[in-house]
Chain A
Amino acid sequence: MRLPPQPDERIDREAAIPFTFHGSRVTGFAGDTIASALFGEGQRVYSRSFKYHRARGLLCCSGNCPNCMMRVDGVPNVRTCVTPLHEGAKVEAQNFWGSLDHDLLTLTDKVGGPFTPVGFYYRTMIRPRRAWPLYERFLRSVAGLGKVEKHGGRTRRYDVEHRRADVLVVGASEAGVESAREAAGREGRVVLVDNGLDPLPDLEGVEAVRGTAIGVYEGGLVPVDAGTVLHRYRAGRVVVAAGAIEQPLLFPGNDLVGVVLPEAVRRLVGRWSLRPGARAVVVSADQRGLETVSLLEQAGTEVAEAVDLRTTRVREIAARGRGGRVASVELDGKKLDCDLLVMSGGRQPAYALLAHAGASVEYDPGRGIFLTSAIPQGVDAVGAAAGDGVAAAAPSATYNGASGKGKCFVCICEDVTDKDVKRAIAEGFDSIELAKRYTTVTMGPCQGKLCHLPSIRLYARENETDEASIGTTTARPPWQPVELGLLAGRPHEPAQRTSIHHRHKELGAKMMWTGTWRRPHSYGDPSGEAKNVHDALGVIDVSTLGKLVVRGPDAAAFLERLYPNRFGDMKTGRIRYGVLGSDAGRIMDDGTIARLAEEDYYVTTTSTGAGAVLEWFEWWNAVWGLDVGIANVTGALAAVNVAGPHARELMSRLTDLDVSNDAFTYLDAKHAHVAGVPSLVLRIGFVGELGYEIHFPSPYGEHVWNSILERGADLGALPFGLEPQRILRLEKMHILVGQDTDSESNVFEASMPWIAKMDKDDFVGKWSLERVQERGFREQLVGFEMANGVVPPEGGQIVVDGRPGGRVTSSRWSQHLGKAIGMGWVPPELAEDGAEIAIKVDGSVERAHVRLRPFFDPDGEHLRT
């Protein structure tokens, strides 16, 4: 039922909006919020409270308290009093068993009182000990408010936008609008952010944005919650005009349905033409509360009594309820029947954003509020947020909860009563920060908006001190509840594809992630693909390899300093394997380095290490200042590796190079045209067979790939993926950095001592490697083959004398060798060819034998012929 049209009403009575509440069809008007429409339909109970499941109704009607939180269209914890109604909205109340009006869990309120103080589950539910899992399951099922659908799909899409503002004004209050108007046209881009229900003000030169500023971070970063978009504003100057927040009074029954703050009356009557109750009592410590009297009369509500606590001394206030709704109020024993109780404890400036920015917060005993001072540069406070015209003197009538009957709530979000707070103090939680964490006051959805000031007053009173010495707790963002999806944003996972990507898909490749790259895992038959490399000819896309050009008069010296190997003595056109280490001697990356000219090196890195290696190179060169330049050509060049006994025949068809073993030997690098494309051809053999790695401009990726498959068709040319490549490299005992090595591995213990040229004057990591030589090995990376063909899990345990003594880093079944093979770290005394080790596989222990030389072609004849 609505009142006759009110002078400033914001509803359009012509535009009915149907929606559903618990499946029933109900109607509101355009201009309604969900809560006001439900109020119009006669709904008074909106939710059940956090712990005691007490009935709760509209209290602040301003989006501060938790009472109106409902599930809307599947989204839990929506504050319906500030959520505009939309057609077809599916609205459901939260946190009850049974029904909203008859919640079975109100039992906790009726009988649970003495058994459910703060932290009750750690006190009353500890015995018998073995029953804790049962308790826990029950507690978890009843804890919390809204429920997230565990298996629900993604219903909303969230985005993050980065925006700039020279001046960002938070709050379209009078003072906020004034600040924006002043700044407009003088201070560049002026943005006004407001989360109210009224239309945004249209000011010249001001961009008005609907949203909630949820925090102020350093560097003028202000995230603004705009529903499904988070605007990350970088502001030169932030003006906080967030206003002030009406404070409740503390008395028994202060949470009953029908106990409201003045703004609720203002909005219900003035905005939505709703009669808040039939008979009202007003108890107010400021003018705002008293101002509701005329509004109530206007709405036809009988005002039984209006008490100004500033002039009338009331010792005890107590509200009595029936069925969770207020039925009467006792003022010093005088009983007044009513179904509406307007309480006002004054207002507290909304200082949270200022505190985030680093302002200090102090209690002003004269006005009874917390005020900010020492506001940092670049941040201003205006209007009520700065304390203008705001006061919240503490009336002596409140905080007498202990003497009255019924619960007196300090914190309605978390259902914390004055008794809980007193008990916490009695237990020794005398510091406000500790008491906060123990009682959880200020930690609920309102984030202290309604409980911070009253709770600190109560602490002060109980500790017989003043509020100023109690101090305040740290305000942290977010200042308003935020949907988690908004903080996560849309997943921006960059995906890198090689220029041959689409051919892989056409060939039926199963794709996988390696770092940010998409690569073919295999084309359906990893074993078969590996076998084809041994028997005929395989081709793999290795465009993902990091590729760096290092050039300049000091290029050789630069690489000599960075790598443990030697590069200065390399002949032009030759290739060397290099392992990059840190000054702590740890293996960072590996790859091949080709000397293309006297002052020109071509460095390849692992697929995932390219960025880190480039950064590493650039950093050291910033330190050394050598005459060398580094260019990253990873994306510019594609690369494919052709390997297998027929690789030479294929290359002779694709190039006019003399590919005979004498003219183009193992570890040679040559420029050539491959299938007409100018390329750099490296003869290397990661997979153990005669192989050529062809590097060429990316745009020709598909052309070169197709040419290889077409011209090599009669040679048995087939593509192979990453998985077969891993089998093949394991047969050769070639390490994968990051797989076989970790952040503790060095080249000595990783069984590559030949890499480190310890007679060099200096290289990055030399001293640490000397230390490893001095102290002796602690473990060593070796190969192993299983005695009876079981493939152990990667990461599995190597058992020495019944105790964990090492770990498996790689393991595969090799079809070609007919063996289960692997690599792993073992104690140095077991690093001997043929030594027997034991590996845990599925709980049982399997025997294996250590191998120090490659399983396949240990002398590298296949590579060299």
Chain B
Amino acid sequence: MSFLLPCPNCGPRPVDEFSCAGEVTVRPQGAPSLRELTSYLYFKRNVAGVQREWWCHRLGCEAWFTAERDTRTNEVLSIDVPEPAGPAAPDAPPLPDTPAV
């Protein structure tokens, strides 16, 4: 695995800068049955073909995004950034003024 993955913020970067959280799964709603729960947790589709998966640019901008990748060729067909709900990112951590020591 040495393909380039396009980060939404940083552009194409070597794949070893990213962490992959596997294929996009659908978290069951309400009170899932045991089968629904274990399917969600353990049964992956593991396709030989195009798959939507979660990636995080861990050694870069730390952004999470989804990518459509062909698992046979490692060709990345598209990426998608989840929409944030609102403008709430905190500012830089409050660094106080120089204290009188």
Chain A: residues with CB nearer than 8 A to chain B?
217-219, 221, 234, 549, 551-554, 583-584, 611, 614-615, 618-619, 622-631, 633, 636-637, 673, 675-678, 697, 700, 703, 767-768, 771
Contacts and interface: CB of A to CB of B under 8 A. Distances in A.
Given A218-B3, A631-B90, A618 B62 contact: yes
Contacts of B48: none
Contact of B41 (A553, A584, A614, A618): A584
Given A218-B1, A218-B74, A697-B96, A554 B90 contact: no
Nearest to B92: A631
A221 B62 contact: no
B85 interface: yes
29 contacts: A218-B3, A219-B4, A219-B15, A219-B74, A221-B2, A221-B14, A551-B90, A552-B86, A553-B88, A583-B27, A584-B41, A622-B54, A622-B65, A624-B85, A625-B82, A625-B84, A626-B85, A628-B88, A629-B88, A631-B92, A631-B93, A673-B99, A676-B100, A678-B99, A697-B96, A703-B101, A767-B37, A768-B37, A771-B34
B15 to A, nearest CB: 8
B37 to A, nearest CB: 5
A408 B43 CA distance: 55
B39 to A, nearest CB: 12
A627 B86 contact: yes
Contacts of A622: 54, 64-65, 82
Given A618-B56, A676-B99, A627 B37 contact: no
A629 B89 contact: yes
Contact of B90 (A218, A626, A629, A700): A629
B90 A637 contact: no
Contact of B21 (A219, A221, A611, A619): A619
* The 8 residue pairs across chains A and B that have the minimum distance between CB atoms: A552-B88, A629-B89, A678-B96, A622-B64, A627-B86, A633-B93, A551-B90, A219-B3
A394 to B, nearest CB: 37
B85 A554 contact: yes
Contacts of A637: 93
Given A549-B90, A551-B90, A678-B97, 12 more contacts: A218-B1, A219-B3, A234-B4, A583-B41, A614-B62, A625-B83, A627-B88, A629-B88, A631-B92, A677-B99, A697-B95, A767-B28
Tell me which of B28, B41, B54 has the highest count of chain A C-beta atoms within 10 A of its own C-beta.
Answer: B41
Given A615-B19, A625-B85, A767 B32 contact: yes
Contacts of B14: 219, 221, 234
A615 B85 contact: no
A627 B92 contact: no
Interface of B: 1-4, 14-15, 19, 21, 27-28, 31-32, 34, 37, 40-41, 54, 56, 58, 62-65, 74, 82-86, 88-90, 92-93, 95-97, 99-101
Contacts of B32: 767
A695 B74 CA distance: 45
A631 B90 CA distance: 7
B43 to A, nearest CB: 13
Nearest to A635: B93
Contacts of B92: 631
Contacts of A614: 62
Contacts of A629: 88-90
B34 A217 contact: no
A234 B28 CA distance: 42
Contacts of B63: 618
B88 A554 contact: yes
A202 B64 CA distance: 46
B95 A636 contact: yes
Contacts of A771: 34, 37
A619 B88 contact: no
A624 B86 CA distance: 12
A301 B34 CA distance: 86
A315 B93 CA distance: 85
Contacts of B3: 218-219
Nearest to B97: A678
Contacts of B89: 552, 629, 631
A312 to B, nearest CB: 50
Given A677-B99, A678-B96, A219 B2 contact: yes
A172 B58 CA distance: 39
A209 B32 CA distance: 61
A676 B101 contact: yes
Given A615-B62, A619-B56, A625-B82, A217 B88 contact: no
A249 to B, nearest CB: 39
Contacts of A630: 90
Contacts of A677: 96, 99, 101
Given A218-B1, A615-B58, A675 B101 contact: yes
Contacts of B86: 552-553, 627
Nearest to B30: A762
A646 B62 CA distance: 43
In this complex, the member of B2, B54, B88, B96 whose beta carbon has the largest number of chain A beta carbons within 10 angstroms is B88
Nearest to B101: A676
A479 to B, nearest CB: 16
Contact of A218 (B2, B37, B56): B2
Contacts of A553: 86, 88
B88 A767 contact: no
Contacts of A552: 86, 88-90
A583 B40 contact: yes
Contacts of B41: 583-584, 768
A764 B98 CA distance: 41
A626 to B, nearest CB: 6
Nearest to B41: A584
B64 A618 contact: yes
A630 B86 CA distance: 13
Contacts of A703: 101
Nearest to B4: A219
Contacts of B2: 217-219, 221
A624 B88 CA distance: 14
A724 B93 CA distance: 32
A700 B95 CA distance: 12
Contacts of A219: 2-4, 14-15, 74
B88 to A, nearest CB: 3
Nearest to B88: A552
Contacts of B99: 673, 676-678, 700
Contacts of B101: 675-677, 703
A626 B88 CA distance: 9
A625 B81 CA distance: 11
A221 B2 CA distance: 7
A654 to B, nearest CB: 12
Nearest to B87: A627
Contact of B93 (A549, A624, A767, A768): A549
A554 B41 CA distance: 26
Contacts of B1: 218
Residue of A221, A615, A622, A633 most packed against chain B (CB within 10 A): A622
Contacts of A218: 1-3, 74
A627 B82 CA distance: 13
Contacts of A626: 85
A218 B75 CA distance: 10
Contacts of B62: 614-615, 618
Given A221-B2, A676-B99, A627 B54 contact: no
A60 to B, nearest CB: 31
Contacts of A697: 95-96
A608 to B, nearest CB: 15
A601 to B, nearest CB: 11
Contacts of B65: 622
A756 to B, nearest CB: 16
Contacts of A221: 2, 14
B85 A627 contact: yes
B93 to A, nearest CB: 4
A627 B90 CA distance: 11
